[in-house]
Amino acid sequence: MKLKIGVLGIQGDFAMHQKSLRKLGVNAPNIRYNEELALCDGLVIPGGESTTFVKLLKKTGMFDALIEFNENKPIMGTCAGLIALSTSLINHNMETLGLIDISVERNGYGRQVDSFIDDVRVDGIETLVEGFFIRAPRIRSLGEGTKAIGFHNDEVVMAGNERILAMTFHPELTNDTTVHRFFIDKYVRK
């Protein structure tokens, strides 16, 4: 049976994640309602604006549905998705899903003009992957049960726990599907 990995489509760059997943032969529907979540083997929360994400998740009732979904199924979060999944924000008072024990600094690298593209080293992947850091958050600390997985120079830019893979960069903005394949292999099919 074909894998079905939904992409949260309430805000942000969900279409590029869908394109990456479809290149890998995965059914990648746009998920906007709680009922659609139950039909998925995994979920991607894309980048976007984290405050808007959380407000829309609360308004639509998906906030609690995502927490329940993650009790048995994996989620990958990129940029704002990482922020929404984290347990704490250093420089903001926004409520988060609290699904991965990390502390995050929003816009940790600076403003839009400070955005950059550079190589990322990921444990378990032999080649470097290209990371697009756009107003990217910074992972400031990892809590219990969370391990560092990806690095830009010596800084942690990707982390994971049993059912969450989260990163500060945008892997969907490249033609390379390595990070999405990593999520499928290590989290969805495990």
Give the start-to-end residue ranges of the domains of the chain.
5-188
Report angle CA 104, 108, 113 to the nearest 5 degrees.
150
Confidence of residue 1 (pLDDT cuts 50, 70, 90): low
Q: What's the CATH number for 5-188?
A: 3.40.50.880
Percent of the chain exceeding pLDDT 90 equals 77
Catalytic residues: 79, 170, 172
Query: Which range (76-80, 107-111, 115-119, 139-143) has the least confidence?
Result: 107-111
pLDDT in tens, 39-54: 999 999 998 888 888 8
* Backbone angles phi and psi of 50, in degrees to 5: -60, -40
pLDDT value at residue 94: 87
124-173 confidence digits (pLDDT tens) = 999 999 999 988 899 999 999 999 999 999 999 999 999 999 999 999 99
User: What local confidence, expressed as pLDDT, does residue 107 receive?
Assistant: 78
Checking if the pLDDT of 77 tops 80, the result is yes
* Cβ pair 95, 56 in contact under 8 A: no
- Cβ contacts of residue 93 below 8 Å, gap of 6+? none
Mean pLDDT of 82-107: 92
Averaged over 85-99, what is the pLDDT?
91
Residue 137, token pair as written in the block: 């958050």
pLDDT tens-digit map of 8-45: 998 877 899 999 999 999 999 999 988 999 999 999 99
**Predicted structure pTM score:** 0.95
